[in-house]
Structure 1
Amino acid sequence: MASAASVTSLADEVNCPICQGTLREPVTIDCGHNFCRGCLTRYCEIPGPDPEEALTCPLCKEPFRPGSFRPNWQLASVVENIERLKLVSTPGSDEEDICQEHGEKIYFFCEDDETQLCVVCREAWGHRAHTVRFLEDAAGPYREQIQKCLECLRKEREEIQRIQSRENERIQVLLGQVATKRQKVIFEFAHLSQFLEEQQSVLLAQLEKLDADILKQQDDFDVLVSEEISRFSSLISELEEKNGRPARGLLTDIRSTLIRCETRKCRKPEAVSPELGQRIRDFPQQAIPLQRKMKMFLEKLCFELDYEPADICLDPQTSHPKLLLSEDQRRAQFSYKWQNSPDNPQRFDRATCVLAHGGFTEGRHTWLVKVDLAHGGSCTVGVVSEDVARKGELRLRPEEGVWALRLAWGFVSALGSFPTRLALGEQPRQVRVSLDYEVGWVTFVNAVSQEPIYTFTASFTQKVFPFFGLWGRGSSFSVSS
């Protein structure tokens, strides 16, 4: 049996010079070269620049007459034998290249029907008016489209991989924070356990003292009651004896006896003195320091588990001229009177805002903002990126590097891409702002009720600053840790 390599070599010798495929219905022209009948027919139908010019061979350029085709039956037999050998030497290898209807090799692609065609299919009436190309020619534009799709998909995959990398980093940061919180919980509860043991000892000692005082007063009460019972028992016995005498004996000293009995007042002793009763009633007050200590412990624990207190001072170099800053730079008040403030690149010239000193490039920080809007107006609190617009209009939204809340008279809004009015249990007047730089959280909480207000999620890439804005006569705010 012929090897696959030799069969392939033979097949190359009987290829059509026009379609580069195996000859189909081979014909010979005047110069002796062989072509597929269909390929040569189409070649002859292609108009040249000079209609009168004779046709030339596609290979040697020798002229030939269109009607001089001579079927080459011998070559057709050779081609048929080679095709049979190819199927035997490589069984199943060309099944996908063979037309299922005609058994011919597929060379063409119909753009209109998106169908692969053999020579016979190509000459069919249904495809004559269609755009038909050789397979490789038709595949070219699709390869370009596939390449464009691949580029887009690869970019999308890279973006997803970047997101995955960023989120994995955030997860590692969160795991580190959880480990730190775990250590703080163990440490704080160890101290709390020691304190509770001490308080338990103090309270139990006080209860034991109350026990002893109650038992002592019980003993005193028992002695007093016994004495009273004894006295009354004597009087009762005397009267019973007097009552049992004859009339003469009964009347002897009867008046003095009755006066002595009637004037005898019963003392009603109390088992527990008012002072001791008050001490028992006041005992729960002894737990008030413990309650206060527990509250302080919980506040301190929650605070330490959350963020580090930030020492906030307002930066006068950034303050709008309508804001009056206190000497300690921890309070600002709105004024319609412009201050004589020199213009500089850091100062806001249209938005009545001010930034804090320093800024943050890492870590978790928190600060308290007390707002006074007694005369109306509004106050804006949050954080901004370092490159936030200082001149001209300032758009308060995350896309512009601003993550903030607006507190106005009667409502609070989260300044997202579109401002959102928030439904809160009460109007906050003290807001705790917390920043987690690595994770990308800006959190707002009502510092009095501990009610969560809103949380922004961001990806910080540069320094951020605590941000404050004021509007309205008499409006003010102060900052602290």
Structure 2
Amino acid sequence: MASAAAVTSLADEVQCPICQGTLRTPVTIDCGHNFCRSCLTRYCETRGPDLGQPPTCPVCKDPFRPGSLRPNWQLAGVVHSVERLQLASAPGLGGEVVCQEHGERVYFFCEDDEAQLCVLCREAGAHGAHTLRFLEAAAAPYREQIERCLKCLRKEREELQEIQSREKKRIQVLLTQVSTKRQQVTSEFARLARCLEEQQSTLLGQLESLEEDILTQREELEALLAGEIRRFNALVEELEEKKERPPERLLTDVRSTLIRCETRKCRKPAAVSPELGQRIRDLPRQALPLQRGVKLFLEKLCFALDYEPAHVSLDPRTSHPKLLLSEDHQRAQFSYKWQNSPDSSQRFDRATCVLAHDGFLGGRHTWVVSVDLAPGGSCTLGVVSEDVPRKGELRLRPEEGVWAVRLAWGFVSALGAFPVRLALEEPPQQVRVSLDYEVGWVSFTNAVTHEPIHTFTASFTHKVFPFFGLWGRRSSFRLGS
């Protein structure tokens, strides 16, 4: 079988110089060049007659006589053989596109009708005034467009895959949090159940002891009263019987009987011990520890279900030279005197700020900051993205990766392109900062009164760090839990 290169070389030899396609009904003119009969006929119609001169060969420009066109049957046979070789050597032999009308292989593409044509379709004349190209030439610009579309689609697909991966991780984090919270709830309620059982046993024991003491007093009281009642019943019966006697019998020993009645001694029992009543009244006080324990349990449970306490410490590598950090890295104080701090890419050089040592890439975390501001001082609290600029001006706004509030001059402002002063009942001395990475919340509340201060919403994609800014002589802040 002929090689693809040989077939291509033969195909080039049987191309029409006018249409650049394979020769169809080839004819030879006086100079010996060959053309498609239809192509040369149209060529002659547009040349020669209008000028009063014979047309010239499209290849060598020699004049020829339009009436001297000679069919080249031998070349037509070669063309047919070449077409058969092309079909035989085609990679998709048996799967090539064939014209449904003529059964011939498709070689051309009509740009106007967007139709694929075989040689006979092209010769039919219906597409004579249309733009025709070989299939590969017509496909080339579309390949370029497809490549551009593929490039855009692949890029968007990568973005979607990144979003899918990120959101998948976030969902997994949320599921892990749910599992952790379930374990916390189970553990805390089991502990509460044990505590309640102990308290119940204690209170029931006290009630049982109190009941036994009350029953003992009741038995003693009833025994005493029963004896006295029997004695009085005997005296009453004796006097009633003596009263009914005739005079001679009534006067017998009447004085001794009356003396015994008049000199009787009634042993009246003491009232129920007041101590028993007091013990009953004191019983609710025995439940006060339980009440405080349940309240503490609920507070701890709500806190545990809400956020994980973050162990935050200040990073001296990021601290501005005007901030004095304590040895335990839990406190910072502003000073106009610059510290001898080595310069580095991590250190703030204009904004008097400092970051926490560790950042967060997920989860729900909370920490408390106690603020002590001197007159004219200010303190900025929040979180920042790890890629915020450390050198030069730092724009404190969410668009720059900073979600923070500022305490200054007795009020609090949410920082953004335009700071917004927040209406609060009282300026907080302790601020709780809470971060929910997956949901995208940065919340601030008064750690003492639990009054909400402000909440930012965001979509975190990088690690974020607790952020602290300070200004004003003798102003300071301290980290809490």
Counterpart mapping for 1:199-214 below 5 A:
199-214=199-214
Deviates more, 1:207-216 or 1:122-131: 122-131
Distance 2:197 2:395 in 1: 56
Aligned-partner Cα distance in 2 for 1:165–1:222: 83
| Residue of structure 2 in register with 1:355 after alignment | 354
How many residues are paired up? 451
Deviations 1:40-68 (A, max 9, x none): 45667999xxx99974465xx58462725
C-alpha separation in 2, matches of 1:418 and 1:145: 45
Q: Residues 333, 14 of structure 1: CA spacing in aligned structure 2 closer, same or farther, 3 A cutoff?
A: closer
The answer as to whether partners of 2:55 and 2:65 remain within 8 angstroms in 1 is no
1:318 equivalent in structure 2: 319
Return the alpha-carbon distance in structure 2 between the equivalents of residues 227 and 374 of structure 1.
84
Q: 2:337 aligns with which of 310, 316, 340?
A: 340
Distance in 1 of aligned mates of 2:65 and 2:122? 21
Task: Give the distance between the partners of 2:44 and 2:271, measured in 1 at CA.
Answer: 137
Whether the 8 Å contact between 2:14 and 2:79 is mirrored in structure 1 is no
CA 1:429 to 1:64, structure 2 compared with 1: closer, same or farther past 3 Å? farther
Quickly say closer, same or farther: Cα 1:29–1:318, change in 2 above 3 A.
same
Helix, strand or coil at the partner of 1:389: coil
Residues 312, 358 of structure 2: 8 Å contact kept? no
Please name the residue that 2:64 is paired with. Answer: 65
- Give the letter for the 1:70 counterpart: L
SS at match of 2:220: helix
Q: What's 1:152 paired with?
A: 152
**Structure 1 segments unaligned to the other structure (5+ residues):** none
Equivalent residues in 2 for 1:34-433, closer than 5 Å: 34-40=34-40, 55-56=56-57, 63=62, 65=64, 67-68=66-67, 70=69, 72=71, 96-98=97-99, 100=101, 107-116=107-116, 131-171=131-171, 192=192, 194-223=194-223, 225-226=225-226, 229-230=229-230, 273-300=273-300, 306-313=307-314, 318-319=319-320, 330=330, 339-341=336-338, 346-347=347-348, 349=350, 351=351, 353-356=352-355, 358-360=357-359, 366-370=366-370, 379-405=379-405, 430-433=430-433
- Give the residue type in structure 1 aligned to 2:206: Q
**Using a 3 Å threshold, how does the CA distance of structure 1 residues 341 and 387 change in structure 2: closer, same or farther?**
farther
1:148 CA displacement: 1.2
- How far 1:368 moved relative to its partner? 1.0
Instruction: Give the conservation status (yes or no) of the 8 Å contact 2:383–2:404.
Output: yes
Q: Cα offset for 1:267?
A: 7.0
Letter of the structure 1 residue corresponding to residue 402 of structure 2: V
Give the Cα–Cα distance (whole angstroms) in 1 for the partners of residues 141 and 46 of structure 2: 24
One-letter amino acid matched to 2:64: R
**Which amino acid in structure 2 is aligned with residue 400 of structure 1?**
E
Counterparts of 2:418 and 2:111, CA distance in 1: 49
From the superposition, tell whether residues 471 and 96 of structure 1 become closer, same or farther in structure 2 (CA, over 3 Å). Answer: same
CA distance in 1, matches of 2:58, 2:434: 85
- Structure 2 spans left out of the alignment, 5+ residues: none
Instruction: Provide closer, same or farther for how the CA distance between residues 111 and 237 of structure 1 changes in structure 2, counting only shifts above 3 A.
Output: farther
Structure 1 residue identity aligned to 2:460: A
8 Å Cα contact 1:29/1:68 also seen in 2? no
Distance across 2 between alignment mates of 1:166 and 1:66: 78
**Is the contact made by 2:30 and 2:65 (CA closer than 8 Å) also made in structure 1?**
no
SS at match of 1:282: helix
**Cα deviation digits, residues 459-481 of structure 1 (max 9, x gap):** 225xx542124679998754212
State the Cα distance separating 1:144 from its structure 2 match.
Answer: 0.8
**TM-score, structure 1 length as denominator?**
0.65
Give the distance between the partners of 1:278 and 1:401, measured in 2 at CA. Answer: 65
Aligned-residue offset at 1:443: 4.6
Alpha-carbon contact 2:26-2:76 (below 8 Å) kept: no
Q: Structure 2: how far apart are the matches of 1:466 and 1:174? A: 21
User: What CA deviation, in whole Å up to 9, does each residue of 1:409-444 have, x standing for no partner?
Assistant: 99977657898999999987644334578x696653
Report the secondary structure of 1:219's partner residue.
helix
Deviation at 1:71, TM superposition (A): 6.5
Q: Provide the C-alpha distance between the structure 1 equivalents of 2:357 and 2:132, rounded to a whole number of angstroms.
A: 71
Shift of 1:164: 3.5
Provide the rounded CA distance (Å) in 1 between the counterparts of 2:94 and 2:395.
67
Aligned to 2:443: 444
Question: TM-score scaled to structure 2, two decimals?
Answer: 0.65
Question: For residue 99 of structure 2, what is the amino acid of its counterpart?
Answer: I
Question: Could you tell me how far 1:147 is from its partner in structure 2?
Answer: 0.9
Distance 1:133 1:407, change over 3 A: farther
Report the RMSD for the aligned CA atoms in angstroms: 5.9
Partners of 1:39 and 1:419 in 2: CA distance: 78
1:176 positional shift: 5.6
Assess, with a 3 A threshold, how the Cα gap between structure 1 residues 287 and 45 changes in structure 2: closer, same or farther: farther
2:461 aligned residue:
459
Quickly say closer, same or farther: Cα 1:260–1:403, change in 2 above 3 A.
Answer: farther
The one-letter code of the counterpart of 2:461 is S
Query: What is the SS of the residue equivalent to 1:137?
Result: helix
- Structure 1, residues 308-327: CA drift from partner, whole Å, max 9, x if none? 54143585973585x89889
Distance in structure 2 (CA, Å) of the matches to 1:138 and 1:361: 56
Partner SS state of residue 355, structure 1: strand
Residues of 2 paired with 1:420 and 1:131: CA distance? 66
Q: Residues of 2 paired with 1:194 and 1:83: CA distance?
A: 96
Structure 1 window deviating more from structure 2 (151-160 vs 387-396): it is 387-396
Amino acid at match of 1:354: C
Q: Do 1:14 and 1:23's aligned partners in 2 also have CA atoms closer than 8 Å?
A: no
In 1, the alpha carbon distance for the partners of 2:80 and 2:231 equals 148
- Contact in 1 for aligned 2:55/2:66 (Cα 8 Å): no
Task: Give the AA of the match of 2:400.
Answer: E
> Percent identity among equivalent residues?
55
Q: Note closer, same or farther for the CA distance 1:480–1:94 as it changes in structure 2 (3 Å cut).
A: closer
Q: Deviations over 1:277-328 (max 9, x none)?
A: 232233233233233334444555666675354143585973585x898898
Contact 1:29/1:64 (CA < 8 Å) preserved in 2? no
8 A contact 2:203–2:286 mirrored in 1: yes
Q: Distance in 2 between matches of 1:137 and 1:425?
A: 77
Alpha-carbon distance between aligned partners in 2 of 1:81 and 1:125, rounded to the nearest angstrom: 21
Q: CA deviation at 1:146?
A: 0.7
